[in-house]
Amino acid sequence: MKISDIKFDHLFAGICGGVVSTGLLHPLDLVKIRLQVNDGDASRPTYKGIVDCSRQLYRSSGVRVFYQGVVPNIWGAGLSWGFYFFFYNNIKMYMQDTDSKKSLSAMSHMLAAAESGVLTLALTNPIWVAKTRMCLQYENTAVASRDYSSLARVLLNIWKQEGIRGFYKGFIPGIFGVSHGALQFMSYEELKKLYFSHYNLPVDTRLGPLEYITFAAISKMFAVVTTYPYQVVRSRLQDQHRQYSGVMNVVTQTYRNEDGRRFTKV
């Protein structure tokens, strides 16, 4: 595979898709993070579920609170999806020896997705830490945190207080989370393969919008259901209001104090 064979169109498409989808869905992401770290501690707000969390947030600060952390989320999602699609499609092309008509196995798709996920995570983890910190700025002054009023201030505070290690909190569970993308892309490619086989189409046939949306939705749901617990561990490690010694400390404390239900509760 030559340098001239590397394609950048997937990079730009991923960035655009990540920015648009994140801008629209950020309020749900913020609610998800609040619920993931909701451990019943009376020093900060506790929530009974999605509706209760949304109601409390709105009553405390109005619509604006739902967009805490939206800037790093847009940056992170745009760059993550851009890098991910760029790495994934070029790694896949390398495996195909630049022959787009060559069919790959499910394991090859999973391997390409896993490699892409690790590379992307290494580049973007600092942004995800910043996003989590901004989403967990509570309205209750009893748990007021450092000045996290902007992405630049968050990154500067993390650097001053925690050094380079602070930027990579949650990186280990994030590595486990690479399986999320690997499973999603493997199932997506397998759905495409079944579709092409059923209609006797070449493997490089372009799908229509309806097929893209359907296959993407099914593969995403499959990946989320399979790997959700790692997201809880990752969010708790990145939470500025709690100090955990590592992944196993989060797992044992969550299991001991909440009967493990928080690993699957949204």
Report the chain (266 residues): mean pLDDT per 10 consecutive residues: 70 88 93 87 84 94 92 93 92 83 84 92 94 82 62 92 93 85 88 92 88 93 86 86 85 80 64
Q: Which pTM value belongs to this model?
A: 0.76
Neighbouring residues of 232: CB distance < 8 A, sequence distance ≥ 6: 36, 254, 262, 263
Q: Is 170 left (phi over 0), alpha (psi -120 to 50) or beta?
A: left
Which pLDDT score is estimated for 120? 95
Could you tell me the residue ranges of all domains in the chain?
3-178+230-263
- CATH class in words for 3-178+230-263: mainly alpha
